[in-house]
Amino acid sequence: MYVDPQTRRALLPIADKIVSSFTEADWIKLATLTDSYDLVRNHSRLLRSLDFKDDDYSGHVLSVLNTIVGRDPANFDEITRYLNALEGGGTSLSSVETPGARFYIQPTVFKIPDEGQDQNLVSVMMPFSPQFGRVYDAIKSAARTAGLNCMRADDIWQDSVLIQDIFSLIVRSRIVVCDFSEKNPNVFYEAGIAHTLGKHVVPITQNGGDVPADLRHHRYLQYLNNGEGLLALEKQLASRLASI
């Protein structure tokens, strides 16, 4: 009953969520879904540790999960589906899974795209005026240096409504670079969407005063829109993207 190392690592946050939220009834339901009733019901410590809130409960949870997945790798998806349904359903759109409450969105203005998140995609939110063309070129070069792909909303045309293409691009991105230069209200709006969806947002600007007060506690990269300044931006941004 071999479980590959990557799957074992993926089970760690799942085990933490189960420890914090599962009841005995949840274990029985999950056991039924994964054809593991005998394992869960007959385990010498799992349900007893849950009932008595023993310190060894988390270890038994992880051990049982590994055994369930080891019996049938497809059980990993069954476990994930059950846990997601227990937390409210839906699919996480965030770049980072963090402990705590999870919220599921049902937008009325946007359609959630069918595609999942692309771990290698960087999207860029910036003014579309011509003087930002070289800035976008520098950002694309920085992304390539970090081994990532880079797109802006005008690189695609999948929907008749531009903001839908922008929303879909943010959803599919792991990292969102936002250029706050010139206090562009569209970029502010798009940064809010990215933050709400839990994306890694990297702010850049030509003028620190253009960064909204609510966002100045986030570290931003300041640059000059000339040859030397854009080379410096490219180097700094590539390092930032690589660290993410």
234 and 145 within one domain: yes
Asked if the structure places residue 135 within a domain, the reply is: yes
Asked if the structure places residue 237 within a domain, the reply is: yes
Residue 87 to residue 122: CA distance in whole angstroms: 29
pLDDT in tens, 7-24: 898 899 899 989 988 999
Q: Which positions ≥6 away from 32 have C-beta within 8 Å?
A: none
Could you write out the DSSP letters of every residue in 113-135?
-SS---TTEEEEE---SGGGHHH
Asked if the structure places residue 47 within a domain, the reply is: yes
**Domain interval for residue 165:** 121-243
71 and 137 within one domain: no
135 and 51 within one domain: no
Asked if the structure places residue 229 within a domain, the reply is: yes
Record the pTM: 0.66
**Neighbour-count burial of 129, counting CB atoms closer than 10 A to its CB (0-12 exposed, 13-18 middle, 19+ buried):** exposed
Asked if the structure places residue 98 within a domain, the reply is: no
pLDDT in tens, 97-129: 665 556 667 788 888 887 888 999 999 999 989
pLDDT in tens, 80-98: 888 877 766 666 678 776 6
224 and 135 within one domain: yes
> What's the chain's average pLDDT?
90
145 and 61 within one domain: no
Mean pLDDT in residue range 197-220? 91
76 and 189 within one domain: no
Whether residue 62 has pLDDT greater than 60: yes
| Residue at a domain's end among 64, 86, 108 | 86
Asked if the structure places residue 18 within a domain, the reply is: yes
146 and 225 within one domain: yes
- Which pair of tokens denotes residue 149? 């792909």
Cβ count within 10 A of residue 37: 14
224 and 131 within one domain: yes
Residue 138 to residue 12: CA distance in whole angstroms: 38
76 and 17 within one domain: yes
215 and 139 within one domain: yes
For the chain, the domain total comes to 2
219 and 130 within one domain: yes
CATH assignment of the domain containing 162? 3.40.50.450
Q: Which of 209, 184, 200 is nearest to 121 (CA)?
A: 200
Asked if the structure places residue 111 within a domain, the reply is: no
Percent of the chain scoring above 90 in pLDDT: 69
> Rounded to whole angstroms, what are the CA distances from 8 to 14, 40, 87?
10, 19, 22
Asked if the structure places residue 52 within a domain, the reply is: yes
